[in-house]
Amino acid sequence: MDLSERKRSSLDGSRHPWETVRSEFFIDLVRGTVQSPQHIAWLDVGAGDSWLGAAIEDALPSGSSMTCWDANYEASDITTLSATYPKIKFSTDRPHQQFDFISLLDVLEHVEEDRSFLTGLVKHCLSPNGKVMVSVPVHPALFSRHDVALRHFRRYTPDECRRLLRDAGLAIDQEGGLFGVLLPARAASAFTERVLSRMRTPPQPSGVGQWRAPACVTRLFEATLRADVRLSNIARRRGFLLPGLSYWALARQL
């Protein structure tokens, strides 16, 4: 979760179903990809509150290392996070070392110069034969005040993200879409926002840090999203990429 959203979130540590199921998906991807018993050096870029970075670290072989880098960390954030996750290294600057894996999960949309940023990261921080795990929000037509509030510069098309990875010197090994079931709701929200803007009525803020639903609703929402992930995985294994609200890719250095 973005630090800005976490500071607005509930104090009980609850997570939005999207965030929970997204984490489960990427942890499964990590476990299916990192099959070597060797120690892994992992860099999580734009790590936010490091909840997902810590989950990835738990899925790595014993003795592996996790570094969480976020340019928005303040000294107090690093103090708090270091106490919460003592096995993780935290940095406000790009680390001066190379890593076997780099994750940028819903990060590139926050970077104005995304192409030069990713190219520099691959050049300076990715070890030979290293891999990069990326996810981005897709469908530019759905760009809304929700994206502006989260400081997104853009939403991508899958082809745009593929070109971005190729231009950075990466070859895609696996790819897919996530959360297609949410597309109608997001499209309706974007349409409603445009109607309200013409009426000069500001839309209500939203985000994963503002989830307040009852437990039964949360469980139902999580079950729906897990079913969506299973369907996407089945289609992907059969050679079909179902559209989603997010696009993800696992790529390796050329």
Domain boundaries, the chain: 3-253
How many whole angstroms separate alpha carbon 45 and alpha carbon 141?
Answer: 26
Question: Is the four-CA dihedral 231, 236, 239, 242 of positive or negative sign?
Answer: positive
Contacts with 148 (C-beta within 8 Å, 6 or more apart), sequence order: none
Find tokens 């003592």 and name the residue: 86
CB < 8 Å & 24+ apart, contacts of 113-120: 114/153, 114/154, 114/164, 115/164, 115/167, 115/168, 118/164, 118/165, 118/168, 119/167, 119/168, 119/169
The pTM score is 0.89
Q: What rounded mean pLDDT belongs to the chain?
A: 90
User: Which is the CATH superfamily of the domain at 3-253?
Assistant: Vaccinia Virus protein VP39 (3.40.50.150)
pLDDT tens readout for residues 199-223: 555 545 455 555 667 888 999 999 9
**Tokens matching residue 138:** 């897709």
pLDDT tens readout for residues 4-52: 555 544 444 578 999 999 999 999 999 999 977 789 999 999 999 999 9
* Residues 136 and 106 sit within 8 Å (Cβ to Cβ): yes
The stretch 71-91 carries a mean pLDDT of: 95
Which pLDDT score is estimated for 121?
97
The pLDDT confidence band at residue 163, using thresholds 50, 70 and 90, is very high
